[in-house]
Amino acid sequence: GENVEQHPSTLSVQEGDSAVIKCTYSDSASNYFPWYKQELGKRPQLIIDIRSNVGEKKDQRIAVTLNKTAKHFSLHITETQPEDSAVYFCAAFNAGGTSYGKLTFGQGTILTVHP
Amino acid sequence: EAQVTQNPRYLITVTGKKLTVTCSQNMNHEYMSWYRQDPGLGLRQIYYSMNVEVTDKGDVPEGYKVSRKEKRNFPLILESPSPNQTSLYFCASSYGTSGGAGEQYFGPGTRLTVT
């Protein structure tokens, strides 16, 4: 089945710096890659996603890149702010074979932005 | 208001006592899913459903059952709970095309403790 590895597990940056979180996946049948942000005590919420026919997507300070050949995708946050502090999860959605419809999450990255 | 609801929000129970956690969505989503969240392990998919009467195992289905008799409801059943099922559980639904490859709308979570 699909295996999603996420790194780093913790990331500490100064306000205004950039933050990068990386994920790799194993199943080439995966075709949709969302990123979720979970603040303390709250439910995960989608912040950006990318489909396999696109290499990069941007939304204001956040961007996601996808390298299908290498099976990895990354989240980039620029000009970080203290309110960006949260746990971030990547995920891969399987669109083929016996695992069709399965959504596999990475282990999460705790991002701390220091004022 | 578009939402996913779960009940109960908190539950303390004893080993072996059958329980059901309900999940309901009012967005007419076809895809519904259950996840458990444990520290350091991220979100792990338990079961998912692409449509009414269609359910599939996720990565950690052992000890759980689900049913999808109606589009809006997707209950999670623990026939004989054990302490290793102590966790935070999230239900989610998605409108995405291709059977769920879209934003997951998460419920508020159910904190389950099995003693």
pLDDT for res A23: 98
Alpha carbon distance A71, A91 (integer Å): 12
More confident residue, A1 or B37: B37
pLDDT for res B40: 86
Place A36 in a pLDDT band, splitting at 50, 70 and 90.
very high
Q: Does the beta carbon of A62 lie under 8 angstroms from any beta carbon of chain B? A: no
Q: DSSP label at B69?
A: S
Alpha carbon distance B113, B84 (integer Å): 9
pLDDT for res B96: 63
**Tokens encoding A98:** 């016996």
Q: Find out whether A57 and A48 touch, Cβ atoms under 8 Å.
A: yes
pLDDT of A46 higher than 70: yes
Q: Which residue type, as a one-letter code, is found at position A72?
A: H
* Average pLDDT, integer, range A51-74: 94
B68: closest CA of chain A, how far (Å): 15
Strands (E), chain A: 4-7, 10-14, 19-25, 30-38, 45-51, 56-59, 62-67, 72-77, 86-94, 103-105, 109-114
* Average pLDDT, integer, range B51-59: 93
Q: Does the beta carbon of A102 lie under 8 angstroms from any beta carbon of chain B? A: yes
**Tokens encoding B86:** 């102590």
Q: Considering chain A, what is the average pLDDT of its residues? A: 95
Q: What is the pLDDT of residues B68-102, one digit of tens each?
A: 999 999 999 999 999 999 999 999 999 865 556 78
pLDDT of A97 higher than 90: no
pLDDT of A81 higher than 80: yes
pLDDT for res A99: 83
Alpha carbon distance B20, B34 (integer Å): 13
Q: Do B98 and A31 touch (CB under 8 A)?
A: yes
Place A86 in a pLDDT band, splitting at 50, 70 and 90.
very high
pLDDT for res B35: 98
Q: Do B106 and A44 touch (CB under 8 A)?
A: yes
Q: What is the pLDDT of residues B7-34, one digit of tens each?
A: 999 999 999 999 999 999 999 999 999 9
Q: Report the percentage of chain A scoring pLDDT > 70.
A: 100
Test the B interface: residue of A23, A43, A89 with most B CBs within 10 Å = A43
Alpha carbon distance B78, B110 (integer Å): 13
